[in-house]
């Protein structure tokens, strides 16, 4: 039987097998690059290192600078 209760319960014992590794590492900074803003007061992490200058420019343009 496809929807047998035992099979469903058995799959729930180890749900990590069905969840991709990228989803299990929520909040992780692994494989991300730091971008330092406001002279070190603010640090954000981005996945594409090439976009660090663009990120800094957008941050400054939006007026998020702290005093």
The model's pLDDT over 7-30, given as tens digits with 9 standing for 90+, comes to: 666 665 556 566 666 666 667 777
Looking at per-residue confidence, does 66 or 43 come out higher? 43
60 has pLDDT over 90: no
Domain spans in the chain, listed from the N-terminal domain onward: 5-61
Q: What's the pLDDT at 40?
A: 86
At 13, list the tokens. 């014992």
With CA atoms as reference, report the closest residue to 59 among 47, 32, 41, 27: 41
How large is the average pLDDT for residues 38-48?
88
pLDDT band at 54; cut points 50, 70, 90: very high
């Amino acid at each position: 039987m496809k929807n047998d209760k035992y099979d469903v319960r058995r799959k729930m014992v180890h749900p990590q097998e069905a969840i991709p590794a990228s989803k299990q590492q929520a909040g992780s900074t692994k494989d991300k690059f730091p971008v330092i803003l406001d002279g070190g007061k603010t640090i954000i992490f981005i996945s594409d290192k090439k976009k660090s200058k663009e990120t800094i420019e957008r941050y400054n343009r939006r007026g998020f600078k702290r005093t």
